[in-house]
Structure 1
Amino acid sequence: MSYNSVPIDTSHLPYCFTRFPVRIHKDKEEIQRFALKLIHATKKEDSKAHKHALYRYAFGPDMNIYSLSWCEADLDKMKLLIDFTELTWAHDDVAEEEPFENAVTESGRLCRAMYEEYDDEPVGDNGYGLRIKRFRDIRNRIKAIDAVGWVEVRDATEEWLHIDTKLKDFENLEEYLNIRKIHVGNKVMTSFIRWTMGIHLSEAELAFIEPYTDCIGVWLGLMKDHMSWKRERTQPTDRIVNSVHVIMNSYNLPEEAAVDMLRGILVRQEGKVLEMSTDLHSKPGLSTSMQMYIQNLQYYAGGLFYWHLLAPRYTKPQSFGSERAD
């Protein structure tokens, strides 16, 4: 039974809308206020990063990505999650614009900020240095609340921060998706489902549920690639990370055909996730925590689909150059 969220009516959306349930946190207005306050406090006004961050929240509390993705989170923990995630997104946005070698180096530095033994390591007063200092503070606050949950968040984040070293021109979609399920941040986000809800699973339970969370990670990578292709296809970068690109190269297909093929793969992957969920729920002997986690994985997936489908960031691809943001 859900206590922190309410359902969203999706009956007005197109027939192709996801079959995952969609809910939103009952404290969506407070979550929206906190996210905007954090952005204004940590990003230079009218900078590219500031405009990008504000644009994520252009539709107001009913489209807040945190309220949708972590709809059952404890509110105080949600605020720490937002602080942590906005910081890693800021790092990721900057890293995408850096030469590959620089991005990998700075990812390593950010990883070390999650370990106390590196706290004496000097950092500069530039953007990366300030993010490292903030990371250390956020680490301490998360760990103080739930040290066991923090280790899971830390390990997932470290794997994510290092995943860029495995990016390349992939020869086939299967090889690409095996990396993309990590690159899309699924393990970090699902570890935060557990942390914000106080869900503690044993090592055996985590191993048991891993094929299901991996299946969702593949679906998330496909979904995000499909939604973001219009935005990413024209961005200057030396690293194209998108299923459409892989399909075009693998099958020598034109762009339109590759997009259609990706859409079909995405629908089939969603069906696989739903089948696995039904099968898991039917298994006897699942702990209450496991049952809550399985259900909230669907809320998380549904919320992310809903946001990507309607957010202006993807429905109307934007350009945030030095002169304008339209």
Structure 2
Amino acid sequence: MSPFPSQPVDTARVVPYFSSFPVKNCEYTALPTIQKALNSTIYSCTTPGTKAQRKAEYRHTNPAGNLFGLCFSLSEADRLRYVVQFIEFLCIVDDVMEDLPFKEACKEHDFLREALRIRGVGPISKSRRFLRDIRTELVNENDPSSLVLLETLDMSLEHRDSLDVEFLTLEDYIPYRKMNFDYEFVCQLVRWAMKIPMKFSPEEELLVSRYEHSIGVIVGLTNDYFSWEMERNQPTDRLRNAVAVLTKEHSIPESEAKVMLKDYIMKEEKKALELMHKFESNKEDFEQATRYLTALDLFAAGYSFWCSTCPRYHRVQKEEDFN
């Protein structure tokens, strides 16, 4: 199959959107597929009336565009539902884990990883059962790329939110931010959903890895930039946000830290643009890899646009609204 048709999005009137990347959206034709996969995930992984379910439903009330239509418009039509299920599953897990003490959250991640093994032994929670069912579906397809994807997800669950440290500099924080964004898994998911190689030639991978890093920095820090007002007062034993890191690193107020963070993101976008020019000027025929880099561009653009417009980050709800 081919991807759902997508259309350019006019971002000129969205003042908070500061990315230089153009945005596309495939939700106009893909929305029934997306909504069905969303409902399946939310109502399979959460209990009616709970905070987790309300937060999940609220996440998808953005009138400016659907998260998945904006971010994954180059996914093959028959794989988009899996993209929605995996990403929404991880979003729900993140919402739940951030309310737990650090050590308890680590244990819960281990329980989830059991669902990716042939013979799990942990308690069968709703999320664990959901993940186990997806694993069974993909394994039964006998596609080697699906096994690579599941292995990457296992590693992501192992390492996400696994450091109980206070970051003193932005450079120290960035590797953690990418890891806690499940970024390596997202990259593999984009490749898998496009049915392109999960690994390119060594020469291609060297160039691609540099581009992946820049996009990972952009999306991770963009999330921090727009989510700061929501996160800053959350009851948690670990506040993970680049704004907080910069205020401490440079002894500056939050407002200045946000300006500094925005400048950092825009500089990273400039690096990505320069890398793309180098890649396109390469004499080798890297058609598949170039398609992949384009998909990463659209992912970063769509995610930045969604963050700049979604109610989740711009009409911050109080804790009691989700209880």
Give TM-score scaled by structure 2 length. Answer: 0.90
Moved more, 100-109 or 156-165: 156-165
- Counterpart CA distance in 2 for 1:15 and 1:236 is 27
Query: Unaligned regions of 5+ residues in structure 2, if any?
Result: none
Question: 1:245-275: per-residue Cα shift (whole Å, max 9, x none)?
Answer: 1111111112222122112112111111121
Partner of 2:254: 255
Query: Unaligned regions of 5+ residues in structure 1, if any?
Result: none
Query: What is the SS of the residue equivalent to 1:74?
Result: coil
Question: 1:67-123: per-residue Cα shift (whole Å, max 9, x none)?
Answer: 11110112221112222222222222211111111111121222232222xx2x333
Query: What is the SS of the residue equivalent to 1:23?
Result: strand
Partner of 1:181: 178
- Counterpart CA distance in 2 for 1:167 and 1:276 is 34
- Counterpart CA distance in 2 for 1:79 and 1:46 is 25
Deviation at 1:150, TM superposition (A): 2.2
- Size of the aligned set, in residue pairs, is 317
Partner of 1:289: 288
Partner of 1:242: 241
Question: 1:260-300: per-residue Cα shift (whole Å, max 9, x none)?
Answer: 21121121111111211222122121332112101111111
Partner of 1:104: 106
Q: Is the 8 A contact 2:207 2:279 kept in 1?
A: no
1:137–1:11 CA distance, 2 compared to 1 (3 A): same
Q: Is the 8 A contact 2:4 2:73 kept in 1?
A: no
Deviation at 1:320, TM superposition (A): 4.2
Q: Is the 8 A contact 2:75 2:193 kept in 1?
A: yes
Partner of 2:53: 50
Matched, 1:13 2:11: no
Give the counterpart letter for 2:123 in structure 1.
G
Q: Is the 8 A contact 1:182 1:217 kept in 2?
A: no
Percent identity between matched residues is: 27
1:264-283 matched pairs, under 5 angstroms: 264-283=263-282
Query: What is the SS of the residue equivalent to 2:284?
Result: coil
Partner of 1:22: 23
Q: Is the 8 A contact 1:68 1:300 kept in 2?
A: yes
1:317–1:245 CA distance, 2 compared to 1 (3 A): same
1:1-326 matched pairs, under 5 angstroms: 4-14=5-15, 17-25=18-26, 26-38=28-40, 39-59=42-62, 63-116=65-118, 119=119, 121-125=120-124, 129-145=125-141, 147-161=143-157, 162-200=159-197, 201-202=199-200, 204=202, 205-321=204-320, 324-325=321-322
Query: What is the SS of the residue equivalent to 1:73?
Result: coil
Q: Is the 8 A contact 2:113 2:154 kept in 1?
A: yes
Deviation at 1:2, TM superposition (A): 7.6
Moved more, 83-92 or 268-277: 83-92
